[in-house]
Structure 1
Amino acid sequence: MIMMAFQRIHSLLLLLVLTLLGLGLVQPSYGQDYMFQRFLRQHVDPRVVGGNDGYCNLMMQRRRMTQNHCKPVNTFIHEDIWNIRSICSTTTIQCKNGRMNCHEGVMKVTDCRETGSSRAPNCRYRATSSIRHVVIACEAMVPVHFDK
């Protein structure tokens, strides 16, 4: 049942991306498209309001962030892609890497932090759900990287 829900979410996200491409609202390059797909896989879960430790453990594994090593920290954004994408139209700010393609907004999120006592692929996480400022890097009005 959970796997079916995940497949449905994945299908809906793919349909959304294809619709955006078809409407000409998003015209990513190959590299940008890869980065956008990766951003969606790692950071977007609009159907959940907030998660607990079990949510983080399950989602980190499902989204393939525990295969070779335990990703230390990951944030899931609980907003639809239109709300997330709207951040790309806000004032540009400096990213952690020094580039000037980051944008800031307020989103519902779950931060997943690895406990430090687990090993891949059985990584264990602690969850913190909140509404907070997030910083996202965008390329041509498309979110491609979660900065902080």
Structure 2
Amino acid sequence: MMALQRINSLLVLLLLTLLGLGLGQPSFNPDRMYQRFLRQHVDPRETGGNDSYCNLMMQRRKMTSYQCKRFNTFIHEDIWNIRSICSTANIQCKNGQMNCHEGVVKVTDCKETGGSRAPNCRYRAAASTRRVVIACEGNPEVPVHFDK
């Protein structure tokens, strides 16, 4: 009985040590977040979209597979121009973090019209040149989240 208590104590101690080292928690991976950002928000070949553009791109970029993503923005700039936004002054993100940066880029905002069902979601497009805020992480810093 005493040996069983000792083993349990050692297992609990081992578990706490692993959690303290972060091995029991999912790790933040800036590269995976960067790839997701590219898939969801970057389309350098276009200069501005219409409703058909949004309907096609939202489906093609896998944002309508299970449910209709209500709103998404595509940035129509070279990735190096977008990455250069990460070198501007830090500003506060919507979540309170201080890893956001802002810049002016060409975009197409796609807003779900309502009433459509996945995977055949329908969107209304609005093309413009406007200020955007993106979160950046890593070394070197890369965009990982479109904030607004």
Q: TM-score normalised to the size of structure 1?
A: 0.79
**Percent of aligned positions with the same letter in both sequences?**
78
**Structure 2 CA distance for aligned equivalents of residues 124 and 117 of structure 1:** 8
| 1:3-56 deviations in Å (ceiling 9; x for gaps) | xxxxxxxxxxxxxxxxxxxxxxxxxx9711100000000000000000000000
Which residue of 1 is the match for residue 101 of structure 2?
103
Q: Which has the larger radius of gyration?
A: 2
Paired residue secondary structure (2:97): coil
Amino acid at match of 1:145: H
Q: Is 1:133 the counterpart of 2:131 in the alignment?
A: yes
Which residue of 2 is the match for residue 143 of structure 1?
143
Which residues of 2 match residues 83-122 of structure 1 at below 5 A? Answer: 83-122=81-120
> Considering only aligned residues, what root-mean-square deviation do their CA atoms show, in Å?
1.1
More helix by percentage: 1
Amino acid at match of 1:101: N
Amino acid at match of 1:58: L
| 1:31-83 deviations in Å (ceiling 9; x for gaps) | 11100000000000000000000000000000000000000000000001000
Paired residue secondary structure (1:89): coil
**Structure 1 CA distance for aligned equivalents of residues 90 and 114 of structure 2:** 35
Which residue of 1 is the match for residue 24 of structure 2?
none
Paired residue secondary structure (2:124): strand
Unaligned runs of 5+ in 1: 1-28
**Structure 2 CA distance for aligned equivalents of residues 57 and 104 of structure 1:** 27
Amino acid at match of 1:144: V
Paired residue secondary structure (2:98): coil
**Structure 2 CA distance for aligned equivalents of residues 104 and 62 of structure 1:** 27
Q: TM-score normalised to the size of structure 2?
A: 0.79
Q: How many Å apart are 1:117 and its aligned residue?
A: 1.5
Aligned positions, number: 120
**Structure 2 CA distance for aligned equivalents of residues 46 and 39 of structure 1:** 13
Which residue of 2 is the match for residue 49 of structure 1?
47
Give 4+ residue runs of structure 1 displaced > 6 Å after superposition. none
Unaligned runs of 5+ in 2: 1-26
**Structure 1 CA distance for aligned equivalents of residues 122 and 95 of structure 2:** 28
